[in-house]
Every structure is written in C-alpha cells, then in structure tokens.
Amino acid sequence: MTAALEGRAVNKAVFLDYASLDFGDLDPACLYNVLPELELYPHTTSTEIVARLQDAEIAIISDLQLPAEIFSQLPRLKLVLLSATGTNSVDLEAARRHGVTVCNCQGYGTHSVAQHTLALILSLTNHVARYDALVRQGAWAASDRFCLTDFPLTELNGKLLGIVGQGELGSKVAQMAAAFGMQVRFAQLPGRDSSPDKQPLDSLLAVADVVALHCPLTPETTRLINSHRLNLMKRSALLINSARGALIDEQALAEALRRGIIRGAAVDVLSQEPPSPDNPLLASDIPNLLITPHIAWGSTEARQGALFQLAENVSGWLSGAAVRVVS
C-alpha cells in the first residue's frame, strides 16, 4: 500500500494501540488525510509488534514499549510517532543508531491536566463525593437541619499553593489557582541553581496549604516526596500529584495519611500503571485519599489535539521539516 504525500511515498504506516488514545469519541480524519491507508489496531501485545510493523515506515504508539531489540528487526522503519509527551516508552538511543526519527506530542493536555488538578484540590476541600454519598444514603432526608455539616469545607481564597515544576503545566495550574484567590509560589528543587522567583522546596513544604507536583520524573526527583518531606508539611496540608507516580514514596504517603501527618492527598498517577493489587495506596484503611486512573490528560479536546499533532508530525517529516523531534 502506498500513499503519495508531499512528494513522498509511504509504503506502510501503522497505529499499534489506537484505543489507548481514542475512547470512541475522536475523529481520526486528520490522520487519514495525511496517511490515507493507515492501519489502525485498537491494541497490540508486545509479541505482535514486529509482525504488525513488518515493512512499515511509520509506527504510531500511545503507551506501548519499543525496546532496543525491536529496531534491528524492522529495517524499513523510519519514523516513530508518540501520541504522548513522555518518551520513556521508546529506546531513543537505539532509534538514533538505526536512523529512526522519533517525534512526540507536546502541550496538548495542558488545560486538561490543570483543570483536573484543580478538580482534585476542590474534591478534597469541598468533599463533593462524600456529601453526595450521604444524600443518597438518606442522611439529608433524615436530618432535622436544612443542611449537612459532617465534613467542614475549606475556601481556597488566601491559601498558599506550592507548585513543584514551573513548566507549562505548573504555570497553567498557577494561573487557574490565582482565579480562586490562592497565593502561588514555585519550589526550587534540591541541587538546582537558585532562582529569585522560587523558594527552596523544603521551606515551601513547611508553609504551603496545598502542594501540587508538576515536575518530570528523573533520578533526582524519584521519591522526591518521602517520609522526611511529608513530615515537613503542615498537618492541614493537601498533596496533589498529576505528574508521575514515582515522585512520591507511596508507602510513606500511606503511613502519613494514616497518622494524620497531612490532611489529605489526591493522585492521578501511581508508580506502576495499572497498579498491582498490593500497591500501598490501594489499602482500604487510608483516610482522605483520592485516586483517579491517570486520566488528567484525557479530555476529549486534549486527545483530539494529540491527533492533530500526530498529523502535523507526519506532514512535517514527509516534507523534510520534521517537528517535535525528540530523537
């Protein structure tokens, strides 16, 4: 199969795990416009990758792994497109050695992730799910008062939000939080050059009412929030993680919540996804913890934006001016 585009012919293009991006609510027309004979597979197992990519020049993946040994078995592969920002699913050095260009998607989920971060904060301060459950259990109908006050509400106005990570996501969260009247400070990570607009992480943890994580996962930031740093935080503080699960020592967080070291936490990510049943944060006795299944990025608008970027990445590569190149 051949699609002639931008003066360039593509012998074969394959999207290996399309269902990881499209939940049945997207329009893939933009991809078909640049790759009319694109092969879409909802899911692909690790043992099916090589067979499905035989003779392919372009591979598109969402959360599949492309380890080093894959590239030596696919001599015609020239371009790998990631429908996400993270690149840890592809061995970039192996891709370079085999002359394979790798492009990702960038910034498509900024509004979605920031909105979800604020939703997690509000879920903890306003106890929406808890009050809904009480009403459905009949507590309001049985009450002799016009309202229920089982769970005290907290205003965000005037509270201090400490943000770890001043990139696009952290900056958007700061903008949204300011609309609620929150004060915002950014953390200076340990080992980084000091910056006049940032506060050292440990001293910020000691005064922040809410701490939101939006930094990359690196060897230096792995388990950045550990038992020591949780003990630095105010007992009334909330911890939010919409970045990467391994930024937090999960066992330490579970114990901190049990002991009341901090007031509550909400996370959209875990260190292993899907999580193993013995993940310490899945224990049934942990109070004031909310977990959502890595969905902060996943608004319909954000995922459609990723499709548009994939199409742009194809067009750029075909025209000899590749964009969003990471390898």
Q: What is the pLDDT of residues 214-226, one digit of tens each?
A: 998 889 999 999 9
Residues 275 and 135 in one domain: yes
Is residue 123 domain-resident? yes
Tell me the mean pLDDT in the region 193-218.
93
Q: Say which CATH number the domain at 38 has.
A: 3.40.50.720
pLDDT, residue 1, reads: 37
Mean pLDDT over the full length of the chain: 94
pLDDT, residue 8, reads: 63
pLDDT, residue 4, reads: 43
- Counting Cα atoms < 13 Å in the Cβ hemisphere of 185 gives 23
Structure tokens at 4: 């002639």
Catalytic residue among 116, 294, 303, 324: 294
Residues 165 and 93 in one domain: no
Residues 168 and 280 in one domain: yes
Is residue 95 domain-resident? yes
Q: What is the pLDDT of residues 237-294, one digit of tens each?
A: 999 999 999 999 999 999 999 999 999 999 999 999 999 999 999 999 999 999 999 9
Count of domains observed in the chain: 2
pLDDT, residue 63, reads: 87
pLDDT, residue 3, reads: 47
- Counting Cα atoms < 13 Å in the Cβ hemisphere of 312 gives 14
116 is catalytic: no
Catalytic residue among 37, 155, 220, 273: 273
Give which of 280, 300, 302 is closest to 291, Cα–Cα. Answer: 280
- Check whether 319 has a pLDDT greater than 70: yes
Give the DSSP letter of residue 324: S
Q: What is the pLDDT of residues 22-65, one digit of tens each?
A: 999 999 999 999 999 999 999 999 999 999 999 999 999 998 99
244 is catalytic: yes
Whole-number Å distance between alpha carbons of 24 and 27: 9
- Check whether 158 has a pLDDT greater than 80: yes
Q: Do the Cβ atoms of 239 and 225 come closer than 8 Å?
A: yes
Q: What is the pLDDT of residues 283-306, one digit of tens each?
A: 999 999 999 999 999 999 999 999
Is residue 323 domain-resident? no
Q: How many CB atoms lie within 10 A of CB 49?
A: 22
Please provide the size of the chain in residues. Answer: 327
Whole-number Å distance between alpha carbons of 128 and 130: 6
Extended beta strands in 26-99, E state = 39-40, 58-61, 79-82
pLDDT, residue 195, reads: 84
Residues 271 and 307 in one domain: no
67 versus 88: which is more confidently predicted? 67
pLDDT, residue 192, reads: 81
Residues 133 and 82 in one domain: no
93 is catalytic: no
- Check whether 6 has a pLDDT greater than 60: no
Q: How many CB atoms lie within 10 A of CB 169?
A: 27
pLDDT confidence of 10, banded at 50, 70, 90? Answer: confident
The DSSP line for 146-201 is SS--SS-----TTPEEEEE--SHHHHHHHHHHHHTT-EEEEEE-TTSPP-TTEEEH
pLDDT, residue 5, reads: 44
Model confidence, pTM: 0.89
pLDDT confidence of 9, banded at 50, 70, 90? Answer: low
- Burial of residue 52 (CB within 10 Å: 0-12, 13-18, 19+) is middle
Q: Do the Cβ atoms of 187 and 198 come closer than 8 Å?
A: yes
Is residue 190 domain-resident? yes
Host domain of residue 62? 3-108+300-318
Whole-number Å distance between alpha carbons of 48 and 189: 42
- Counting Cα atoms < 13 Å in the Cβ hemisphere of 98 gives 23
Residues 230 and 263 in one domain: yes
Catalytic residue among 116, 214, 229, 244: 244
Q: What is the pLDDT of residues 116-153, one digit of tens each?
A: 999 999 999 999 999 999 999 999 999 999 999 999 99
